[in-house]
Structure 1
Amino acid sequence: MNDLNQVHQDSIDPPHPCILFFNVNGSGMGHLNRCLSYARRLHGRARPVFFSLASAIELIEDMGFEADYFVSPYWSASSTFSWNSELAVRLGMMLERVRPDVIVFDGTWPFQGFLAACKAYGSPALVWSNRGLLKAGTKTVPVDESGFDLVVQPGELGATESETVLEGGGKRMLVPPVCVLEEEELLDRAAARDALGLAQSGRFVLFTLGPGNLKDVAEIGHGLIRVFEAAGFKIVWVRAPISVRDVELPAGVMPLTVYPLARFLRAFDVVVSAAGYNTCCELVQAGVPALLVPNAGLADDQVRRAHMVAEAMPAVVSACETDEQREIAVGELLGMLGASHVKNVAIPMNGASLAAEAILTLAVTKERMQ
Structure 2
Amino acid sequence: MAEPQRVPHRLFALPDDPMAGLLGAWLDLQGGVVPGDMGSAVQDGDWFATQSLFLAAVPRLAGVSGVLNVVLRRPNMREQSDAPVLALEVQILARAAALLPAVMVKWWAASEVAAAAFAAQGMDVRVLPTSHREDAPVWQARLGADGRFALERGPQGGALAQEAVNWARLARDYRLVAQDGIGADRQDMADLANRLPVVPASADLLFITPNGVGLGHLTRQLAVARALCQQLPAPPRITFWSFSQAAVIAQAAGFDVILRHTAEALGADPQVWTAHETAALAQQIRHDRPAAVITDGNRIERFVSDALRQPGCHHPRLIWIRRGMWRADAETGGLADVRYCDEVLIPGDLAQAADKGATARPNAFDTGLSRETVTAPVVLHATEPPKKRRAARRALGLRRGPACLVSLGGEAFARTAILHDKLVHAARATGVRLVWAQSPLAARGWTDVQEERHISRYPISPWLAAFDGVISACGYNSFHELMLLYDGPVLLVPTTNERLDDQAARAGHALTQGWASVLDHETGEAEDARLRAFLAGLAKPAVQKRPRIEACGATQMAERITACLSSAPKESPAP
Task: Give the TM-score, by structure 2 length.
Answer: 0.57
**After superposition, where does 1:215-234 map in structure 2 within 5 Å?**
215-234=414-433
Residue 309 of structure 1 is matched in structure 2 by: 510
Residues 202 and 289, structure 2, Cα contact 8 Å, conserved in 1: no
**After superposition, where does 1:263-278 map in structure 2 within 5 Å?**
263-278=462-477
Residue 126 of structure 1 is matched in structure 2 by: 318
CA–CA distance in 1 between the matches of 2:339 and 2:549? Answer: 31
Stretches of structure 2 that go unaligned for 5 or more consecutive residues are: 4-200, 354-361
CA–CA distance in 1 between the matches of 2:229 and 2:451? Answer: 41
Stretches of structure 1 that go unaligned for 5 or more consecutive residues are: 5-14
CA–CA distance in 1 between the matches of 2:287 and 2:408? Answer: 39
Deviations 1:287-317 (A, max 9, x none): 2321111111222110111123334554211
User: Quick one: structure 1 residues 127 and 198, their matched pair in 2 at CA, closer, same or farther if it must change by over 3 Å?
Assistant: same
CA–CA distance in 2 between the matches of 1:113 and 1:150? Answer: 18
Is 1:156 the counterpart of 2:349 in the alignment?
Answer: yes
Residue 210 of structure 1 is matched in structure 2 by: 409
Residues 378 and 554, structure 2, Cα contact 8 Å, conserved in 1: yes
Specify the code of the residue in structure 2 equivalent to 1:186. Answer: P
Deviates most, 306-315 or 174-183: 306-315
Residue 292 of structure 1 is matched in structure 2 by: 492
What is the SS of the residue equivalent to 1:309?
helix
User: Quick one: structure 1 residues 340 and 196, their matched pair in 2 at CA, closer, same or farther if it must change by over 3 Å?
Assistant: closer
Residue 328 of structure 2 is matched in structure 1 by: 136
Residue 269 of structure 2 is matched in structure 1 by: 79
Specify the code of the residue in structure 2 equivalent to 1:338. Answer: P
User: Quick one: structure 1 residues 308 and 168, their matched pair in 2 at CA, closer, same or farther if it must change by over 3 Å?
Assistant: same
CA–CA distance in 2 between the matches of 1:214 and 1:325? Answer: 15
Deviations 1:246-302 (A, max 9, x none): 421434211111211222222111111111110000001222321111111222110
CA drift of 1:226 comes to 1.8
Deviates most, 222-231 or 311-320: 311-320
Task: Give the TM-score, by structure 1 length.
Answer: 0.86
Deviates most, 219-228 or 317-326: 317-326
CA–CA distance in 1 between the matches of 2:323 and 2:298? Answer: 8
What is the SS of the residue equivalent to 2:411?
coil
Is 1:111 the counterpart of 2:291 in the alignment?
Answer: no
Q: Which has the higher contact order (CA 8 A, sep 6+)?
A: 1
CA–CA distance in 1 between the matches of 2:390 and 2:402? Answer: 13
Among 208, 218, 230, the alignment partner of 1:22 is 208
CA drift of 1:220 comes to 0.7
What is the SS of the residue equivalent to 1:212?
helix
Is 1:35 the counterpart of 2:221 in the alignment?
Answer: yes
Residues 285 and 349, structure 1, Cα contact 8 Å, conserved in 2: no
CA drift of 1:208 comes to 0.7
**After superposition, where does 1:165-176 map in structure 2 within 5 Å?**
167-176=367-376
CA drift of 1:51 comes to 0.6
CA–CA distance in 2 between the matches of 1:282 and 1:110? Answer: 26
Residue 392 of structure 2 is matched in structure 1 by: 192
**After superposition, where does 1:342-357 map in structure 2 within 5 Å?**
342-343=545-546, 345-348=547-550, 350-357=552-559
Is 1:241 the counterpart of 2:433 in the alignment?
Answer: no
Deviates most, 315-324 or 84-93: 315-324
Specify the code of the residue in structure 1 equivalent to 2:280. Answer: R
Give the greater-gyration-radius structure (CA). Answer: 2
CA drift of 1:178 comes to 0.7
Specify the code of the residue in structure 1 equivalent to 2:309. Answer: K
CA–CA distance in 1 between the matches of 2:506 and 2:351? Answer: 11
Aligned residues: 355
CA–CA distance in 2 between the matches of 1:215 and 1:76? Answer: 25
User: Quick one: structure 1 residues 97 and 326, their matched pair in 2 at CA, closer, same or farther if it must change by over 3 Å?
Assistant: farther
Residues 409 and 473, structure 2, Cα contact 8 Å, conserved in 1: yes
Specify the code of the residue in structure 2 equivalent to 1:65. Answer: F
Residues 187 and 266, structure 1, Cα contact 8 Å, conserved in 2: yes
Deviations 1:196-239 (A, max 9, x none): 3334x321111111031563512212211220232111121122
Deviates most, 333-342 or 128-137: 333-342
What is the SS of the residue equivalent to 1:240?
coil
CA drift of 1:33 comes to 0.6
Residue 178 of structure 1 is matched in structure 2 by: 378
User: Quick one: structure 1 residues 312 and 113, their matched pair in 2 at CA, closer, same or farther if it must change by over 3 Å?
Assistant: same
CA drift of 1:363 comes to 2.8
Specify the code of the residue in structure 1 equivalent to 2:322. Answer: N
Deviates most, 346-355 or 170-179: 346-355
| Root mean square deviation, CA, Å | 2.9
Residues 322 and 345, structure 2, Cα contact 8 Å, conserved in 1: yes
Is 1:68 the counterpart of 2:241 in the alignment?
Answer: no
Residue 338 of structure 1 is matched in structure 2 by: 541
What is the SS of the residue equivalent to 1:305?
helix
